Structures are given as structure tokens and as C-alpha cells.
Structure 1
Amino acid sequence: MLFRFNNIIKVLGLLLVVTLNAQTKPEHVVIISIDGFRSEFYLDNTMPTPNLQEMVDKGVAAKEVTGIFPTVTYPSHTTLITGKTPVEHGIFYNTKMSENGSSGGWVYDFKEIKAKTLWQSVKEKGLTTAAVSWPISVNADYIDYNIPEFWSFTNPMDRRIATAQKANPKGLFEEVVKNATGTLEINDYNLSSLSMDQNLARIAGYILREYKPNLLTIHLPITDGAQHKVGRKGLGVRKAISGADNAIGIIRDALQKAGIEDKTTIIVSGDHGFVDVHSQIAPNVLLAKMGLYNKNNPKAWFYSAGGSTFLHVKDSNNKKMIEQIREAFDQLPLEEKSTFKIIDRDKIAKRGGDPNAVLALSGSKGYFFTNDADGPFISTKKGGKHGHYPDFHDIATGFVGYGKGLEKEMLIENMFLEDVAKIAATLLGADIDQPEEYYHVVLE
């Protein structure tokens, strides 16, 4: 089905109106990403999210946002800032994959992004930009005020010195600590406690008050860790989303104090949903039994993205070996075969996944993948995961739009993760090379 995006965004037959005349066009857009954001957080009025629920009541919200593949943080955040899928922006996984299939370091440098970003397009309009803890923003020349997501390679729990060194302009991190957060201990600025989201929001609030950027993007990460630990529900998840909602309140308060609240659009979205899991699958165990995988020089390997895993081969011309692997998984006993579905290359391409992967596996509800090549094929492991193919509600993320330039009191059925950047670009009159017509595909 074809949907035209011009002055009107049509999403499954419903209209999200973006007004572009001078009287209603916002001067500022704030994009808030909540890691592991789900629509239940704002559509369920028993959740501790008063800011989000007020914004839903007075703005626009979606019942679900279909993600890219895999539904993991760094590729998804790159889609949020480019309006492109991974095959276009070049970020396929959270981490780099080595030649032997092992996981390398996290992707963090802006130069890895191959598509035009919102930051660049806004700068080209002569406007100002800011980012706080946004993935893959290190060394981003298009961000005027940048506190990137970064940490020490020798002591990953300590993000303070590494962040200060990569902040732009130099001295900005020290400035925001002095004026927004006060002295930060190690655990005030990492993923170990709820205070991380609060401190990031205070930093963003200070930048909004002091510098009034036209575009500010901020990533709130704590809700992700809570759901990894216990799954979709639980007291820890409620605490984390309450903390993220409070962070939104801090940002809203800063906009008011800066005198720009009525000139601003706030967009809250995320990168993926979450799936409750009870078991992990190790497909490299089967490859090892077939004589195709060894740690130092594998002929083939599966590279895990949590809820999915991608098959890579050394020799892509060896069609016989590839077919043998597929047959091996097709012929597994029903109780093992039912734990996943095979995603072929055409289906990978539908959501922009790695074109170098021969095929992928996506876990059934309750299952995820590990890179392990020894031990049992399936073993018990409880918690929450994401990364699955984005064709069911639990893995979908959310969207709330509030403020100048957006329609009010509107609930839409579905949108795509790519739409977030396109909406923001339209509001600011920027160009991220988006087509006039957008195609929304109903996934198989």
C-alpha cells in the first residue's frame, strides 16, 4: 500500500497532520529516545508515566512502531536519526563483526554512518544542533553541542573522562556537570542506576536553556537494562519507565524555563520492544557438529543479535554448503525447530538487514540466540531480549508526538521507525533525502 507524505502523513488510513506554514511551524524539535520503549508505557493508564500520558492526551501517539531488522539499539538509533534502514545507513549490528565471526568492539564513531543524518540536514539549513548520549555520535561534526554516548575501554563502568574527552565543544562536559548535575560519581553516570536518565535529562535541559538548539536528540538507556533483567513486567521495569518519564518532565520544565515551550515539538520514540525469554539457542553448536565451525577459522557462523542471529559464510559461492546448512535446520526435531523461524534474504531485505547474511533465524516467543559453539543446542536462560524480526507487537516500539506543528488527540495504528526522522525533518524544513512518497509494507 502506498502512502503519500507531503503536508499530510497517512498511516494505515489515519492522518497525522504536520503543519508547515510560518505560524504553526516549530522553531525547535526535541527527539527523546527511550531504550526499550513500548506503547504499553503510555497507553496503559496504570503505568507511572504522567508526562507521557498527558502528551498522548494532547498530541499524537501510535499503537506500535515497526522496527528495522535486527531490532537492536545502535542500528535502530541510526534509523531514528537518518530515516533509513541499515542497508542504507550501514549500521547492521551493535558491534563490529570480525572476519572469523567473533564480536568486536561497539560501533561508536560517526564516520561509520553512511547516510545523511538529521544533524547534517538541520545544520545545512543554518540551524543549531545538540545531542546527549546518542549512539554513534562520537566525532560528529554536525552536532554543535555534543555529549556523546561513550565510555572507557579499560573501565567501561566509568564514562566520565571518556565522555569529557569526546564532548564538543571541548569543556562542554565539565560545563554541564558544573551547571546541571553537580559532581558525578561513577555510578551516577553509567547504566547501573536510575540516576543515569535523570542526569542525562538535566544535561539536556541545561543545553536547551543555555543554547536553545533547533534540534536536540537524547537517548535514555535505563529502561532497556531493567527489561533485560526481568522481562517485560516487574517492579524494576515500572521504576525504570517512571524514571524515564520523570526525565521527560525535566526536559519539559527546561523548555518552559527557556521560554521556548510553545515553539517546540517533542517527539518520544524508541528503538525496539521486548520479549520475555526462558531459553537460549546456540546454532553454532549445530554448525560445529557439521564440521563447518571452529573458533579460529570457521567456514560458516551465526552472529547473534539477541532475538535473531545471522548466518555468514566464508565462501558465498558455495551454494551446496549453504543448502546443507538450511536443510540441517529444516530437519531438526519439531520441538527444536519450533523455537525459531528461518528468515530468508528477501525477508531480511524488507526491513533493511545485513545483505551479506545468507539467512537469519528469529526466535519464537521465549527464545533468543547466543554465539556459543559448545554445550547444548538449547538451554535455560530467563529475562528479556530484543533483536527479533519485527513482525509482532511485543517487539514493536512506540511513538508520542506533542507540541507545535502536530495534530492533537490522535491515536494512529502503526508507523515505521524510519518515519520519526522524516517527521522531524519536515517540521524543521530540513532535507534528509526522503522521497515524496513512502511505502509502508505489511510484513509477512
Structure 2
Amino acid sequence: MKKSILSIFSALVLTFSVCTNAQEIEQQLVVENRVNDAKQQDKPYVILISADGFRYDYAKKHDAKNLQNFAKNGVEAKAMYPSYPSITFPNHYTIVTGLYPSHHGLVGNQMLEEATGDRYSLGNREAVINPKWYGGTPIWNLAEENKMLSACYYWPGSEAPINGMFPTYSYKYSEKSPIDYRIQEVVNWLQLPAEKRPHLITFYFPEVDHAGHTFGPDAPETKKAVQFVDESIKKLNDEVAKTGLNVNFVFVSDHGMTRVDDENPLKLPIKIDDTKVQVVMNGSYVSLFVKDKNDIDSVYKQLKAVQNDKFTVYKTTEVPAKYHFNASDDRYGRIGEIILMAHAPNYFSNNKAPKGSHGFFVKETPEMQATFMAWGPNFANGKIIKAFENVQVYPMLAKLLGLPISENIDGTDKLANKILKK
């Protein structure tokens, strides 16, 4: 029986992190009385870094010299394919579970659970920390289940007690703490005694995504954000090197970014009776939840009659298999009965659309391609690989850390076998 969130929190000790000028920045959450099992203490260390919205070509396009140098001495993929929809929370959680969004339950940044009527959104703190929204076993849980300590300096899902468990060390999401402070906290973790030292650390950058949305992928502001991430990773790499530990780095992004038609956002093309149909908008797609299933055909026919080259209407029973977003894939009942898929540069919004965005199917909108690079003692040197699906990252991390996967996932060992040293 899963423990309640309240009982989980009662087992935790809260410690406050304070910057040098004594200004409180954020709160570190530490689960006491955990230690690395003796057999785990000689396992590799890995820092999994995400730069949100860091498109597959940004390192070259925006002159991220440090990342390019790291990749030359490690592994670089020509691109990494995000899962559909190529949205932040779904893809971050896919990276750490090896499951497509429809299989782990996070199908959008905005969601409706049809069975309960409950809604999820990034701005709803109560929903974000509720474990019921998160299926699968995130990599930090897999580590902890095997008595290997983990630390999350932000990652979607890490603030919820999934299966009654938190990472040993974690932080409530905040964009207030300076990068140098965050880097030092990572170093502090790695300087703990071996029995208390996390072997898996996650780290997250929001800046590139923010700039891409606000200014577009080609803007000087986006280049500045890319170079900030590039310089920060160089600092992180250099400071970690001073610990004397052999640490592996995996640098990923959740999706790419494309210019959208922000002057002419798409609206729902028919009038919806909200007493009969509930609507959830995620920009690149819109889900319709039809309360009376006898009404599905009539609503679908109305929408199909006004379909044009800017969007496609599907019954979710008929969504092509390539999206992994069919009703048969929908394990948690969160996709709806009808879906409207926008075609870039078109974008659904009740207000003005952003200049740049994502969420589109990567094989139809190549700008959705994400980034993958890795370097460190356990990775091949100077290797360039073909593009691959992001469900492959989780089993690679598990193999790197020597963690057995006991459940069925969508990823395989294909990536691990290509890039990890034997």
C-alpha cells in the first residue's frame, strides 16, 4: 500500500540552503538514514544535465564551443528524437523512465484525467507533487531501490513521492538560485563520504527554452542563453574535476524549437458546449473529452468538416501508430476521444502565441530534434552516432550504473551498446 504524501514528508528532514550573503534561496530536501550499499560504492558516477529547448543544431548554430569540445572527446548524436508530443514534462519524464508519454501518463504540460475529472498543469503545485500523475520508475527511484543514492537538482517528477519514494537529495523547483551556487551544491554532494555520496545527479537549465519561446530560435537572446549554458557546463565540469572522482556527464534536451505564427494563433474551429465536451490545450495539440460517448461521432464530424491544412482531426482510436498516441496507448485515460494536431508553424492558443514553440511530431517538423552528448570515463571517445529515440536514454543510464530494470519499458539496450565502453 502506497504511503500518503503526508507520511512520506514526515520521514524527511528539511535542511535550508543559504547563500553567502545569508539570503535564503531554496530548500534542500534530504531523506535521512540512507546510505549506499557497499556493492554500489564502486559504481560509476553520472550527472544527467538537461538544457530545456536546446535544439539539436544549437551547439553549432549558436557557437557553444565548450559543448562541442566535450562531444569531440566523448559521444555526440546527430540528433535525439523527442517523443510525441515534443513538450517539456512529457519528454523529461520519458528520458528518465524509458516510456513514451502515453505509457507513463504525462501526455502534456496540461492534462485532464477523464476518470476523476482532475486536472494537471505546470502551475498547479498540488498536482505537480501528486504521485498519481507519474507512471513508470524514474531513474532516481531505480537507483534508490537498489540502495544507490541519487540527487535531483530539478527534474520534472522529482518533487513527487513516486511509488512512495523521493531521491535522497532534492530541491523544490526555483529559478532564483545563481548558477555558481548550484554548481557548488553538486560539488558538495560529490565531496560527501562514499556511503552518503550520490552516484546519480540530475541538473536542469531553463534559460534556452525561455529565450526560444520569447524571441524565437534564431534570436540573439537565444544565442546568449545557449552560451550561458555552455559556459556553465564548462564551470560544472571543471569544478567536478577538482573532486578527483571519475564522473560521467550526459547532456540532453527534451525537444527542439521552431518559429510559430504568433500573429495568427489557431482557435477551436467550432463552438464547444463545455457541459458536453471538456477541452485541454497544449499548443501543438488539443484534446477533447466527450462526456457522452454517443456524441463522439457528431463532434468529430463537425470538426472534420472544417479541417484544413493547418491542423488534422483524429478520433484517438485512429491516430497513426507512429505517434504512440493512440487510444490503445493511452494507459491513463488522459488523451481524450478526439485530438486536433496542429501543423507547424501553426499553434493553438486562446491568446497570442509565443514566437517560438514545440510539441510537434519530430518526423514532420525536424526543428523538434533534441540534443544528446556524453563524455567521461565510461563513454566511447570521439564517436558520432545516428539520431535515436529518447526512450533509449533510460536503459543506457541503468546499464552505466549497473541497475537492473525489472519492468517492461519502450527503450532497449541499443544506445548503451553503441556508446558505453565494454
Q: TM-score range by the shorter chain?
A: 0.7 to 0.9
Taking the aligned partners of 1:136 and 1:216, their CA distance within structure 2 comes to 14
Offset of 1:110 from its aligned partner?
Answer: 5.8
**Could you say if the C-alpha distance between residues 81 and 309 of structure 1 is closer, same or farther in structure 2, counting changes exceeding 3 Å?**
same
Taking the aligned partners of 2:411 and 2:112, their CA distance within structure 1 comes to 34
User: Is the Cα contact below 8 Å between 1:108 and 1:137 reproduced in 2?
Assistant: no
**Could you say if the C-alpha distance between residues 222 and 200 of structure 1 is closer, same or farther in structure 2, counting changes exceeding 3 Å?**
farther
SS in 2 for 1:265: strand
Is 1:38 the counterpart of 2:55? The answer is yes
Q: Indicate the residue corresponding to 2:362 in structure 1.
A: 390
- Give 2:243's aligned amino acid: A
Q: Indicate the residue corresponding to 1:367 in structure 2.
A: 346
Q: Indicate the residue corresponding to 1:58 in structure 2.
A: 73
Q: Indicate the residue corresponding to 1:4 in structure 2.
A: none
1:399 corresponds to which of 372, 389, 392: 372
SS in 1 for 2:96: helix
SS in 2 for 1:88: helix
**Could you say if the C-alpha distance between residues 203 and 361 of structure 1 is closer, same or farther in structure 2, counting changes exceeding 3 Å?**
farther
Taking the aligned partners of 1:381 and 1:215, their CA distance within structure 2 comes to 37
**Could you say if the C-alpha distance between residues 245 and 122 of structure 1 is closer, same or farther in structure 2, counting changes exceeding 3 Å?**
same
Percent identity over paired residues = 23
Offset of 1:93 from its aligned partner?
Answer: 1.7
Offset of 1:103 from its aligned partner?
Answer: 6.9
Give the gaps of 5 or more residues in structure 1: 1-21, 150-158, 160-186, 190-194, 331-336, 373-379
Q: Indicate the residue corresponding to 2:251 in structure 1.
A: 268
1:237 corresponds to which of 219, 222, 228: 222
- Give 1:248's aligned amino acid: I
- Give 1:208's aligned amino acid: L
**Could you say if the C-alpha distance between residues 208 and 233 of structure 1 is closer, same or farther in structure 2, counting changes exceeding 3 Å?**
farther
Offset of 1:301 from its aligned partner?
Answer: 4.5
Is 1:253 the counterpart of 2:243? The answer is no
Taking the aligned partners of 1:387 and 1:139, their CA distance within structure 2 comes to 24
Taking the aligned partners of 2:92 and 2:130, their CA distance within structure 1 comes to 12
User: Is the Cα contact below 8 Å between 2:344 and 2:360 reproduced in 1?
Assistant: no
Taking the aligned partners of 1:390 and 1:95, their CA distance within structure 2 comes to 20
Offset of 1:41 from its aligned partner?
Answer: 2.1
User: Is the Cα contact below 8 Å between 1:135 and 1:148 reproduced in 2?
Assistant: no
- Give 1:109's aligned amino acid: I
**Could you say if the C-alpha distance between residues 437 and 97 of structure 1 is closer, same or farther in structure 2, counting changes exceeding 3 Å?**
closer
**Could you say if the C-alpha distance between residues 258 and 348 of structure 1 is closer, same or farther in structure 2, counting changes exceeding 3 Å?**
farther
SS in 2 for 1:240: helix
User: Is the Cα contact below 8 Å between 1:65 and 1:415 reproduced in 2?
Assistant: yes
Taking the aligned partners of 2:354 and 2:108, their CA distance within structure 1 comes to 23
**Could you say if the C-alpha distance between residues 101 and 233 of structure 1 is closer, same or farther in structure 2, counting changes exceeding 3 Å?**
farther
User: Is the Cα contact below 8 Å between 1:69 and 1:348 reproduced in 2?
Assistant: no
SS in 2 for 1:239: helix
- Give 2:357's aligned amino acid: K
- Give 1:320's aligned amino acid: D
Q: Indicate the residue corresponding to 2:305 in structure 1.
A: 328
Taking the aligned partners of 1:311 and 1:54, their CA distance within structure 2 comes to 46
Give the gaps of 5 or more residues in structure 2: 1-38, 415-422
Offset of 1:95 from its aligned partner?
Answer: 3.2
Q: Indicate the residue corresponding to 1:129 in structure 2.
A: 150
User: Is the Cα contact below 8 Å between 2:253 and 2:371 reproduced in 1?
Assistant: yes
Q: Indicate the residue corresponding to 1:147 in structure 2.
A: 171
